[in-house]
Amino acid sequence: MSSEIRFTDFKSDKQPTWCPGCGDFGTMNGMMKALANTGNDPDNTFVVAGIGCSGKIGTYMHSYALHGVHGRALPVGAGVKLANPDLEVMVAGGDGDGYSIGAGHFVHAVRRNVDMTYVVMDNRIYGLTKGQASPTSREDFETSTTPDGPQQPPVNPMALALASGATFIAQSFSTDAQRHAEIVQKAIEHDGFGFVNVFSPCVTFNDVDTYDYFRDSLVDLAEEGHDPTDYDAAKDAILDADKEFQGVVWQNEESVPYGEKHGVTENMSDVDEGAPEGAMDLVREFY
């Protein structure tokens, strides 16, 4: 079946209401391509979407999906994957969803290393609520709620991931369609938690982190000869505050995903018609 699957099969018949030119279009297209390229189809794919402009992706893609509570998409994704390891699970949300209200879950999802993919559509702004500072906004970025800028350093999500024991860290740019799809594909193929921070510019509320800005500043790690299995090189790239890059920055090839470590391999949706065999032994334990 997989050979017949085209990326457009992952598109729903609902027309996106994102602003024309929004980075989220490209991010979504790349995700759909990567899913199709890895042999998935909508009926074995589960997308969990956060809340935000980015979170609308659950509606615009065609797959099994849940559009949940702001900031809690990652635990939902882990629950889906552990309950049915046959599914391809992809979690997508915004920078506010993932690094602010959901930051705690991000750290622990990284540590847990469930075999799934996490795509953050990072526009360095709160889009849906119409333009407030996000945790990745620049220190001097003026918004309606931060007239002088947040005056706090932006969070470095990749450093947060690395410090939490990440096994796969990458970054891409939504408008570089080919590279973006390639990078997401690598994250899907990774055995463990594949994390991709995607620059997905907000054309309506962010006039500094624009397409032009990223086009001018972005370097491609692959072209620089970066070795993603070299931890120190990864650390240097991630901690270099002046460097905007795309590519896979870190991949631990020894990664063993949570499910494998804990022997969680069966589809849990099968339930016996009565109490499971051997249940009476549980009662006898209390003698």
Partner 1 sequence: MPADFNWAIGGEAGDGIDSTGKIFAQALSRAGRHVFTSKDFASRIRGGYTAYKVRTAVDPVQSVVDRLDVLIALTPRTIEENLDELHEGSVIIYDGERTTMEDVEIPEGMIGLEVPLKRLAEEAGGAIMRNVVALGAACEVAEFPIENLDSALEKRFGSKGQQLVDNNKEAARKGQDYVGDEYDHDFDYDLETTDEDYVLLNGDEAIGMGAIAAGCKFYAGYPITPATDVMEYLTGRIQNFGGHVVQAEDELSAINLALGAARAGARSMTATSGPGIDLMTETFGLVATSETPLVICDVMRSGPSTGMPTKQEQGDLDMLLYGGHGEIPRFVLAPTTISECFWKTVEAFNLAEKYQTPVYLTADLSLAVTEQTFSPEEFDMDEVEIDRGKVVDDDTISEWQNEKGQFQPHALTDDGVSPRAFPGTGEGAHMSTGLEHDELGRRTEDTEMRIEQVDKRNRKVETARNEEDWSPREFGDPDSDNLVISWGSNEGAMVEAIDLLEEDGVDVRFLSIPYMFPRFDLNEAFENADEVVVVECNATGQFADVVEHDTLTRVKRVNKYNGVRFKADELAEDIKQTLEA
273 lies in the site for partner 1, by CB under 8 A: yes
Q: Which does 16 bind (CB under 5 to 8 A by kind): ligand TPP, partner 1, Mg ion, none?
A: none
- Position among 58, 127, 192, 201 found at the interface with partner 1 (CB under 8 A): 58
Question: For the chain, what is the radius of gyration of the CA atoms?
Answer: 20
Contact indicator for 87, 46 with CB cutoff of 8 Å: yes
Q: Which does 134 bind (CB under 5 to 8 A by kind): partner 1, ligand TPP, ligand SF4, none?
A: ligand TPP
Compute, in degrees rounded to 10, the torsion defined by CA atoms 218, 102, 165, 247. -20
- Position among 18, 193, 245, 250 found at the interface with ligand SF4 (CB under 6 A): 18
42 lies in the site for partner 1, by CB under 8 A: yes
Q: H or E segment at 77? A: helix 73-83
Tokens at residue 260, please?
């494998």
- Nearest to partner 1 of 48, 158 (CB atom): 48
Tokens at residue 165, please?
């024991």
- Nearest to ligand TPP of 66, 222 (CB atom): 66
Q: Which does 204 bind (CB under 5 to 8 A by kind): partner 1, Mg ion, ligand SF4, none?
A: ligand SF4
Among candidate residues 129, 64, 69, the one with its CA nearest the CA of residue 93: 69
- Position among 31, 87, 187, 202 found at the interface with partner 1 (CB under 8 A): 87
24 lies in the site for ligand SF4, by CB under 6 A: yes
Q: How far apart are the first and last CA of the chain?
A: 53
Residue labelled with tokens 């509320």: 205
> Which spans of this chain sit near ligand SF4 (rule: CB under 6 A)?
18-19, 22, 24, 53, 123, 127, 202-205
